[in-house]
């Protein structure tokens, strides 16, 4: 049997790099692609020595060429934190629109199956709880999150159009908050923010009154769900996430306990359009994929904290997008 070949965009990012690892482990030839704006080559450094891994430094919003056959394409290139897409809104829109168009064209030319990383952000600030796949969402197109939310909604529409019009094999995963090793420490997302603050000896900044909720999924669980979805025959969107919901204030308290920091929680203004609650309904993933998360938040947070602790001191104060922290 000839070896299957998969293209993973956003390969140097948090999720992309874990997907590269998984597909290598499954015996695939993996072609990683990333423009390295928010990705970090350290995440995939260990793969460069492998015969069945190659890397293209390329921006998928420009024409994408990959020689040879392709069986699968996974589109995971995109800024993915609210602070990132405030800083680079146009690139965020381009990778979700021009980028997906290029990749759909490539998938059609190669007769490859394409899976896109969509997001719980398509539900916006949801009025249905927990969120099921048939909920259409409550998104403000012109708010600060609009560039991400609408890019992802467009991406779903475009992918579905290629599926119905061209008969392309497509898959859509709606990813809820996910965490684990290789998250960027200073990208502004709540988990690295809290752990970074604890490691730097700063207070933990809860936004608003901290009563908004999120449901955090450990990265290995997410990757398993994505792998199963790719190999399934379901072209409709599927939620993948952990339904274990927690308020941001309680989450901050868990991080204080985990890290043993003697800092306290301080409250900062709630960002515009910050969703008040979020929890995936995973009935569909359970039924179609036989999937559900296995890693508890306690276990996952422990592994993630160990990872952040192992980073160099400089990393605690740096960010590729130029966010600098003042050393105490």
CA atoms of 63 and 75, how far apart (whole Å): 14
Compare residues 188 and 280 and give the one whose CB is closer to ligand UDP. 188
Choice from 36, 271, 311, 325 touching ligand UDP (CB under 6 A) = 271
Measured in degrees and rounded to the nearest 5, phi and psi for residue 218 equal -75, 140
Query: Between 55 and 194, whose beta carbon lies closer to ligand UDP?
Result: 194
The only residue of 18, 101, 189, 297 in contact with ligand UDP, by rule CB under 6 A: 189
Q: Which residue has the tokens 């997906």?
A: 100
Structural contact between residues 20 and 53, judged by C-beta atoms closer than 8 angstroms:
yes
- In sequence order, the 6+-apart residues with CB closer than 8 A to the CB of 297 are 216, 218, 242, 244, 246, 254
Nearer to ligand UDP, 85 or 291 (CB): 85
Interface with ligand UDP includes 274 (CB under 6 A)? yes
Smallest distance from ligand UDP to CB 35, Å: 22
Least separation in angstroms between residue 81's CB and ligand UDP is 6
Residue 82 interacting with ligand UDP (CB under 6 A)? yes
Query: Helix, strand, or coil here: 179?
Result: strand
With contact defined as beta carbons under 8 Å apart, do 75 and 115 qualify?
A: yes
What is the pairing mode between strands 213-215 and 245-247? antiparallel
239 to 125, 139, 207, 276: CA distances (angstroms): 16, 18, 26, 19
Q: How many CB atoms lie within 10 A of CB 126?
A: 20
Count of positions (residues) in the chain? 328
101 — phi, psi (to 5°)?
A: -65, -45
User: Residue 163, SS3?
Assistant: helix
Could you tell me which stretch among 20-28, 33-41, 154-162, 182-190 binds ligand UDP (CB under 6 A)?
Answer: 182-190
Measured from the Cβ of residue 57, the count of other Cβ atoms closer than 10 Å reads: 12
Among 106, 112, 193, 282, binds ligand UDP (CB under 6 A): 193
Nearest distance in Å: CB 217, ligand UDP: 12
Q: Tokens 């994505």 belong to which residue? A: 226
250 is an interface residue for ligand UDP by CB under 6 A: no
- Backbone phi, then psi, for 93, in 5-degree steps? -65, -40
- Given a contact cutoff of 8 angstroms between Cβ atoms, the answer to whether 28 and 4 are in contact is yes
Q: Residue 81, interface with ligand UDP (CB under 6 A)?
A: yes
87 binds ligand UDP (CB under 6 A): no
Given 22, 113, 214, 297, the residue binding ligand UDP (CB under 6 A): 214
**Nearest approach, Cβ of residue 170 and ligand UDP (Å):** 24
Our finding on whether 190 is near ligand UDP (CB under 6 A) is yes
Could you say which of 148, 162, 179, 305 is catalytic?
148
Pick 250 or 318: Cβ nearer ligand UDP: 250
Inter-CA distances, 65 with 31, 95, 184, Å? 12, 16, 28
Selected binder of ligand UDP within 17, 91, 212, 259 (CB under 6 A):
212
Where are the extended beta strands (E) located within 91-154? Answer: 113-119
For ligand UDP, the binding residue among 195, 226, 248, 282 (CB under 6 A) is 248
Site for ligand UDP, residues 112 to 171, rule: CB under 6 A: none
Residue placing its CB nearer to ligand UDP in the complex, 20 or 198: 198
Kindly tell me which of 96 and 188 has the beta carbon lying closer to ligand UDP: 188
Is there binding between residue 243 and ligand UDP (CB under 6 A)?
A: no
Known catalytic residue: 227?
Answer: no
Residues classed as catalytic: 148
- Interface contacts to ligand UDP, rule CB under 6 A: 81-82, 177, 188-190, 193, 205-207, 212, 214, 248, 271, 274
């Amino acid at each position: 049997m000839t070896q299957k070949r998969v293209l993973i965009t956003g390969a140097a990012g948090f999720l992309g790099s874990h997907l590269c690892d998984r597909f290598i482990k499954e015996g695939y030839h993996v072609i990683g692609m990333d423009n390295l704006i928010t990705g970090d080559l350290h995440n995939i450094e260990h793969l460069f020595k492998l015969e069945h891994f190659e890397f293209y430094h390329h921006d998928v919003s420009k024409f994408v060429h990959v020689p040879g056959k392709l069986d699968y394409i996974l589109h995971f290139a995109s800024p993915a934190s609210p602070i990132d897409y405030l800083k680079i809104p146009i690139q965020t829109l381009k990778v979700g629109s021009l980028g997906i168009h290029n990749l759909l064209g490539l998938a059609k030319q190669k007769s490859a199956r394409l899976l896109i990383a969509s997001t719980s952000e398509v539900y916006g600030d949801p009025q249905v709880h927990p969120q099921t796949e048939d909920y259409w969402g409550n998104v403000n197109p012109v708010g600060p999150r609009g560039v991400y939310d609408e890019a992802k909604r467009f991406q779903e529409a475009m992918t579905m159009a290629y599926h119905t019009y061209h008969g392309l094999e497509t898959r859509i995963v709606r990813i809820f908050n996910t965490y684990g090793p290789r998250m960027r420490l200073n990208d502004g997302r709540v988990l690295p923010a809290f752990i970074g603050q604890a490691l730097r000896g700063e207070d933990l900044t809860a936004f608003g009154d901290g009563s908004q909720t999120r449901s955090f999924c450990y990265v290995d669980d997410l990757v398993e769900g994505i792998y199963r979805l790719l190999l399934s025959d379901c072209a409709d969107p599927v939620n993948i996430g952990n339904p274990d919901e927690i308020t941001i204030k309680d989450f901050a308290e868990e991080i204080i306990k985990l890290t043993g920091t003697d800092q306290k929680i301080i409250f900062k203004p709630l960002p515009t359009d910050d969703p008040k609650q979020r929890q995936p309904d995973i009935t569909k993933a359970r039924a179609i994929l036989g999937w559900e998360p296995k890693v508890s938040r306690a276990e996952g947070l422990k592994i993630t904290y160990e990872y952040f602790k192992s980073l160099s001191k400089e990393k605690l104060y740096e960010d590729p997008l130029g966010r600098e922290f003042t050393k105490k």
